[in-house]
A and B are shown apart, each in its own frame.
Chain A
Amino acid sequence: MHEMSIVVSIVEIAESEAKKNNAKKITKLELDIGTVSGIELDALNFAFESIKNETMLKNAQIKINKIKAKSKCEDCNYEFNVEDVYSLCPKCNSYKTTIIHGKEMKVKSILID
């Protein structure tokens, strides 16, 4: 489960920034996670719940912005929404499609006290 490593990275990024600003706690954490980023949100939440009490994010509200995946066809340039990375172009049926949105994994912002 790589989500635990992901959560550890998130906590390190958030705590390091909070400490730089002499914060006592982090009250809100906002993440951008693409729907085809390879991060499973249930696993992420589970991992987060299991470690947050030992971090500055103990009572933080977690907001996850799910970034919808979009793909572009290299043959006909059509852009379309996808839920996976292997969908064919709905217009010309080509498999030469490239994900243009949905791979995001970012710590967007933190709210500190």
Chain B
Amino acid sequence: MCTTCGCEGNGNEIKMTVFGEEKKLTIQNHEHNHNHSHGHHHHSHEHSYEINLETNILNQNNLLAERNRGYFEAKNIFAINMMSSPGSGKTTLLEKTIKDLKDKFQLYVIEGDQQTMNDAERIGKAGAPVIQVNTGNGCHLDANMINKAIKKLEVKDNSIIFIENVGNLVCPALFDLGEAKRIVIMSVTEGEDKPIKYPTIFEDADICIINKTDLLPYLSYDVELAKKYALRVNHHLKFIEVSATTGEGMEKWYDELKALIK
């Protein structure tokens, strides 16, 4: 059984597909070494003994994330990890951003979803080179997937890369991808208390985008209350209110983005 996802296969199969290209790249996200020593016994240790490790559990991921970070820095690529629950409007926000900024900046997108090419198709049509990472049963992107994806995508120097994480307000938070900034997106159709229900993802974010503000007249959502909850989790958080559908507030997001990459 695969130890990544519990499937019967030999490892969780991660599929990567560049929009516009037919060839697919499949990677095994974890190396499954089953090097049992058959007929080769060591009798040197008669007694059991303790080894002190003090090793961070996510050490391997964090090391790879730092390699990605070095790659991004050397090529002057600004990487943004975008996280939210499913349906908060991450892809719509990116579509609009690409349409408005593609003439000014070189933009790339890594799309993380368990299945389908749907989001990559939307981003591709909006006009940015995009690679779809299908995580299979995986609930988050990790540094290894990003490492493979950026090479496959052939990202040019002096560009911005948006990493749209798998829609999930829990798991992506723990996995450093090598990004420069983290953005959490929350939409006004969700509860105001999302930040304290799922605090981990808000804790390490730099910016919180509150999306779908065009729907506020029809909802009882209290924006100030949501911000108050989010600030209790992370008092360094900056907020930007937008409607990616109507375009309201998007200029503020672009100003913030331009300030970030300077």
Interface residues of A (CB under 8 A from B): 1-2, 4-14, 17-19, 21-24, 27-28, 31, 38-39, 50-51, 54-55, 74, 84-88, 95-97, 99, 105-113
Contact = CB atoms under 8 A, between A and B. Distances in A.
B231 A95 contact: yes
A11 to B, nearest CB: 7
Contacts of A85: 199-200, 203, 233
A52 to B, nearest CB: 10
A99 B199 CA distance: 12
Interface string B199-215: 11001000000000000
Interface in B1-32: 1, 3-6, 30
Interface of B: 1, 3-6, 30, 35, 41-42, 44-45, 48-61, 138-140, 142, 170-171, 173-175, 195-196, 199-200, 203, 229, 231-233, 235
A27 B48 contact: yes
Given A86-B229, A95-B232, A107-B53, A9 B58 contact: yes
Contact of A110 (B3, B42, B50, B142): B50
Nearest to B235: A96
Given A38-B200, A113-B48, A51 B53 contact: no
A5 B55 CA distance: 16
B49 A112 contact: yes
B233 A112 contact: no
Contacts of B231: 95
Contacts of A86: 195-196, 199, 229, 232-233
Given A9-B61, A110-B53, 13 more contacts: A4-B6, A9-B60, A12-B60, A24-B41, A39-B174, A74-B235, A85-B200, A95-B235, A99-B203, A106-B55, A107-B57, A111-B48, A111-B50
A105 B41 CA distance: 33
B56 to A, nearest CB: 6
A56 B87 CA distance: 41
A66 B179 CA distance: 30
A92 to B, nearest CB: 14
A22 B57 contact: no
Contacts of A24: 41-42, 45
Query: Which 4 pairs from chain A and chain B are nearest by CB?
Result: A2-B171, A86-B232, A22-B42, A38-B200
B171 A108 contact: no
Contact of A21 (B45, B56, B138, B175): B45
A8 to B, nearest CB: 5
A55 B35 CA distance: 11
A2 B1 contact: no
A89 to B, nearest CB: 11
A14 B59 CA distance: 12
